[in-house]
Structure 1
């Protein structure tokens, strides 16, 4: 008997013992020959919850500008969907429609049901679904918000694009300028903070220290708004500790 044959029958014997123990422990268990099918069903049931979305059709695909966050490249990320977490999933975020799209292993593009997405992590960004009147102010829009700073004065950003059109050589070209809307949590609600002045006015007792934090960090509020707001808010929280 060859070494390979010996190892093969040894593995089969170990599996058979394991199946036998399971059957003795549970008289209703499936027979050994049905176990591989059962194990396959258990393994695939987890992913079936993720890959049951409807088809996503790419629109305005020929334009240089696009409707996605940052770029139009597929990137592997993490998503918590239907109360289950999935890792290393190819995904892309359509911020014009505020929808998360994943790529099926057969190449299809699937649109996830937004109400079933708790959060997803894409690159260095952590997007959480927040509901108006529950997680955020009633007048704010339900959808995905990028967590800029997750301390006491939680700071979030809604990423958005508006579709515009222009005519070039008698052709209609779609444009998607991107904008971010920032909100800082204070006194039980979120406050819009689009400017440096707005952030400083939220924390008037620490204006001097917040300006110094930007200078020390060499952060330009206009060019590095995400980092600048996060630095200012986190500095306030540190100073406000009892």
Structure 2
């Protein structure tokens, strides 16, 4: 072998070694990336499966024709804050007779009644609910409440249906009676409200102005109009007191 050839080989050897090291490094990087991706996937699957724990949801008496759910009796997708983790796109129903969620596992089968004590909040469709841990000082019992107005002063409603049974005719008859309860959270206290007078008593410092607002906007505090009236008066109070 001639001398120039030896020089050429000696020159190329480091490059060949570096190329081999580069290929090995790339392979190692790809394998590490795969391992990380698999780990993330497995953890995500575990967390997602974690929300599907609980007991079988037992339906109510089939003789009661009106459903016990809010807002409708078909599965809707939403988000659940469960045991410190948010689970998205979960098919669920909100039973407002029992104040509990039932969810449908991805593989089908029976619906699951998840552990209520591990749920801190959830949304179902466009409706947002939070759990309030109440006591006598706060003025609201523990349960899930729909957030209607989220300002410095908040408005909540607890969606409730109770079962009314009648056997006077000798045959069993029953119905679900809606009994929504509204609360205004102001200065750390939940004030139960229902009528115009009860709302104005919470906002007594702006009572005169709010009475004019109610008359001008023809707000009513009965039945289906109550929710809008309470929310609008609360928002107007914030505007009057610059508490937005």
TM-score range, shorter chain: 0.7 to 0.9
User: How far apart are 1:67 and its partner, in Å?
Assistant: 1.8
CA distance in 2, matches of 1:36, 1:84: 20
1:197 alignment counterpart? 197
CA distance in 1, matches of 2:54, 2:85: 15
2:87 alignment counterpart? 86
Task: Report if the CA contact (8 A) 1:182-1:192 is conserved.
Answer: yes
2:4 alignment counterpart? none
User: Aligned ranges for residues 26-37 of structure 1 at < 5 Å?
Assistant: none
Task: Report if the CA contact (8 A) 2:200-2:207 is conserved.
Answer: yes
1:126 alignment counterpart? 128
TM-score (ref. length: structure 2): 0.77
Task: Report if the CA contact (8 A) 1:67-1:95 is conserved.
Answer: yes
Secondary structure of the equivalent of 1:140?
coil
Question: What is the RMSD computed on CA atoms of the aligned residues?
Answer: 2.9
User: How far apart are 1:138 and its partner, in Å?
Assistant: 4.9
Deviating 4+ runs (over 6 angstroms): 16-19, 34-37
CA distance in 1, matches of 2:191, 2:182: 8
Secondary structure of the equivalent of 1:220?
coil
Unaligned runs of 5+ in 1: 1-15, 26-31
- Deviation track 1:71-124 (CA, whole Å, cap 9, x = no partner) reads 312111121111111222111111111111111122221111112111111233
| Structure with greater helix percent | 2
2:183 alignment counterpart? 183
- Residues 36, 145 of structure 1: alpha-carbon distance in 2 compared, 3 angstrom cutoff: closer
2:59 alignment counterpart? 58
Task: Report if the CA contact (8 A) 2:184-2:192 is conserved.
Answer: yes
**How many residue pairs are counted as aligned between the two chains?**
218
- Residues 81, 166 of structure 1: alpha-carbon distance in 2 compared, 3 angstrom cutoff: same
Task: Report if the CA contact (8 A) 2:138-2:189 is conserved.
Answer: no
CA distance in 1, matches of 2:104, 2:140: 30
1:163 alignment counterpart? 163
Secondary structure of the equivalent of 1:237?
helix
Task: Report if the CA contact (8 A) 1:65-1:174 is conserved.
Answer: no
TM-score (ref. length: structure 1): 0.78
- Deviation track 1:145-183 (CA, whole Å, cap 9, x = no partner) reads 111211112221111121111248743122110111111
| Higher Cα radius of gyration | 2
Task: Report if the CA contact (8 A) 2:144-2:158 is conserved.
Answer: yes
1:145 alignment counterpart? 145
2:208 alignment counterpart? 208
